[in-house]
Amino acid sequence: MTPLTGFLLVAALLFSIGLAGALTRRNAILVLIGIELMLNSANLNLIAFWRYGPHPERLTGMMFAIFSIAVAAAEAAVGLGLVIQIHRHAHTTDLDAINRMKG
């Protein structure tokens, strides 16, 4: 097994764990945690391909990962703000209980 295969398998496992968390948990914050794990596994893929790719000096994968980290930070801030506002409105963060779009 080459090193790149190992990193790709770890990233695939992390993505699946994050997806399982986002699909099965009831708390909205835990769903956001699952999405963060999925974003991070994509970053691991980008860095691994940058490291073992043919032209690492062009920094393409590294730049992708850095911008992806910045976008994930913005996503986390807005997502958690939305969760706090939903909790203030519906007095719960249980996604099974929040089943109406009308306020």
Hey, which residues between 31 and 60 contact another protein (CB under 8 A)?
32-34, 36-37, 40, 43-44, 47-48, 50-54, 56-57, 59
Place of tokens 């007095």: 91
> Is 94 in a helix, a strand, or coil?
strand
* Burial classification of residue 86, based on how many CB atoms lie within 10 Å of its CB (0-12 exposed, 13-18 middle, 19 or more buried): middle
Does position 99 interact with another protein (CB under 8 A)? The reply is no
> Looking only at residues 4 through 23 of this chain, which bind another protein when binding is defined by CB under 8 A?
4-10, 12-23
3-state secondary structure of 10: helix
Number of residues that bind another protein (CB under 8 A): 73
Using CB under 8 A as the binding rule, whether residue 98 contacts another protein is answered as no
| Residue 78, beta-bridge partner list | none
90 binding another protein? (CB under 8 A): no
